[in-house]
Amino acid sequence: MPAAAPGGRTDAAMEQIIDIVLLAFMVVVAIAMIRLRNLYAVVMLSGIYSLLSASMFVVLDAVDVAFTEAAVGAGIATVLMLGTLALTFREERPPKRRTPLLPLAVVVVTGAALVYGTLDMPHYGDPEAPIHQHVAPRYIADSPLEVGPPNMVTSVLASYRGYDTLGETTVIFTAGIAVLVLLSGVTRRRQRRRPARGDESREARR
Amino acid sequence: MFTVASLFVLATMVLALLRAVRGPTVYDRIVAVNVFGTMTVLLLVLIGFLTDRPEFEDIALLYVLINFVAIIAVLKFELYSSLAGPRAASAEGATEKARDEAADGAGVDGR
């Protein structure tokens, strides 16, 4: 790109802005998903959320994870959620009045412990990190000769960790069959609707 | 140039997000999700060019396909209240919505 020399700094700044805005979007969507009572809207928002996280994975260079997230999170999960919606109500019941102090405390303590745990971790992209020192150099050096494909992630997943991948595939296959059985066997039941309670349910049916 | 384009795409994403959260109808939300997906695709391409790695366009193409199929599935569900399609819906005695569509003469096919 010829204009890269003067524009390099603004490009880097723009990347940072995109990161921050994407993360802010994720926070907004998560809060909206918690607050909304219309489950259809929540399903739609969860599709948006997984699109956002897939973009974050691309920004972090985890392209294969982004593929999976886009296919599973935005594609299949949305459809399965909609199939589930046919079996339940479209509105979430408002929670009983209770002070959520204990759950809040648990969440805050867990979050603080996790943040404390990240303090020890190597910086993002640090070449000295243990994960880049253990088996990665051998994969980089030998996998083109031992396995063949130019994409080393493929070599690792399909050859070096072949049994691992086989187990994962079995688990996902089983889970997929179970979900299909659950959704297809019972879908014939008519969709129940709660008595209209103001605008919300009429809005949901429209 | 890519910077300005990214800014505009992000602004559009804000608007689509607003519509997805506010609603009020189901179709507003479906269109909002669709627009948001398109904007994600554009943003991925722009990120690819910002970081001098336009290979990421492949992923953007995949996103387009997933977005399309997902929206079709959502709309089908919205019409028939079942993912199996019109036949299954009529077999169970036709859901209210499919009947309305048929009464309007706008029923799609297979009825």
Phi-psi region of A191 (alpha: psi -120 to 50; beta: other; left: phi over 0): beta
Q: Is residue A84 part of a domain?
A: yes
List all residues of chain A from 23 to 62 with a beta carbon under 8 Å from chain B. Answer: 25, 28-29, 32, 36, 38, 40-41, 44-45, 47-48, 51-52, 54-55, 58-59
Q: Is residue B44 part of a domain?
A: yes
Q: Is residue A83 part of a domain?
A: yes
**Average pLDDT value for residue range B36-61:** 81
At A119-146, the pLDDT tens digits run: 888 777 777 777 777 777 777 878 777 7
Q: Is residue A159 part of a domain?
A: no
CB proximity A70 to B under 8 Å: yes
Q: Which of B21, B50, B70 sits opposite A47 (nearest CB)?
A: B70
Q: Is residue A107 part of a domain?
A: no
Q: Is residue A39 part of a domain?
A: yes
Q: Is the dihedral of CA A27, A117, A64, A176 positive or negative?
A: negative
Cβ <8 Å between B92 and A48:
no
Structural domain boundaries, residue A72: 13-94+191-206
Kindly report the three-state secondary structure assignment for every residue of chain A: CCCHHHHHHHHHHHHHHHHHHHHHHHHHHHHHHHHCCEHHHHHHHHHHHHHHHHHHHHHCCCHHHHHHHHHHHHHHHHHHHHHHHCCCCCECCCCCCCCCHHHHHHHHHHHHHHHHHHCCCCCCCCCCCHHHHCCHHHHHHHHHHHCCCCCHHHHHHHHHCHHHHHHHHHHHHHHHHHHHHHHHHHCCCCCCCCCCCCHHHHHHHC
Burial (0-12, 13-18, 19+ Cβ within 10 Å), A128? exposed
C-alpha span between B100 and A183 (Å, rounded): 25
What's residue B83's pLDDT? 63
Give me the number of domains chain B comprises: 1
Q: Which residues contact A199 (CB under 8 A, 6 or more apart)?
A: none
What's residue A121's pLDDT? 82
Q: Is residue A108 part of a domain?
A: no
Q: Which of B66, B74, B91 sits opposite A71 (nearest CB)?
A: B66
Structural domain boundaries, residue B16: 2-60
Cβ <8 Å between A203 and B83:
no
Q: Is residue A8 part of a domain?
A: no
Q: What is the pLDDT along chain A (206 residues), one digit of tens a residue?
A: 344 444 556 677 777 888 888 899 899 889 988 888 888 888 888 888 888 888 888 888 777 788 888 778 777 888 788 877 777 777 777 777 777 788 889 999 999 999 999 888 877 777 777 777 777 777 787 877 777 777 777 788 888 888 988 998 999 899 888 888 877 765 555 444 444 444 444 444 44
Is the Cβ–Cβ distance between B107 and B100 less than 8 Å? no
**Average pLDDT value for residue range B31-56:** 83
How far the first Cα of chain B sits from its last, in Å, is: 52
At B51-87, the pLDDT tens digits run: 777 777 777 887 888 888 888 888 887 777 666 656 5
What's residue B86's pLDDT? 60
Q: Is residue A48 part of a domain?
A: yes
C-alpha span between A46 and B9 (Å, rounded): 20
B25-B29-B31-B37 Cα dihedral, nearest 10 degrees: 180
Q: Is residue B89 part of a domain?
A: no
Nearest residue on chain B to A180, alpha-carbon basis = B83
Q: Is residue B96 part of a domain?
A: no
Q: Which residues contact A100 (CB under 8 A, 6 or more apart)?
A: none
Token readout for A71 is: 């296919």
Q: Is residue B104 part of a domain?
A: no
Cβ <8 Å between A191 and B40:
no
* CB–CB contacts below 8 A, A to B: 131
**Average pLDDT value for residue range B22-48:** 85
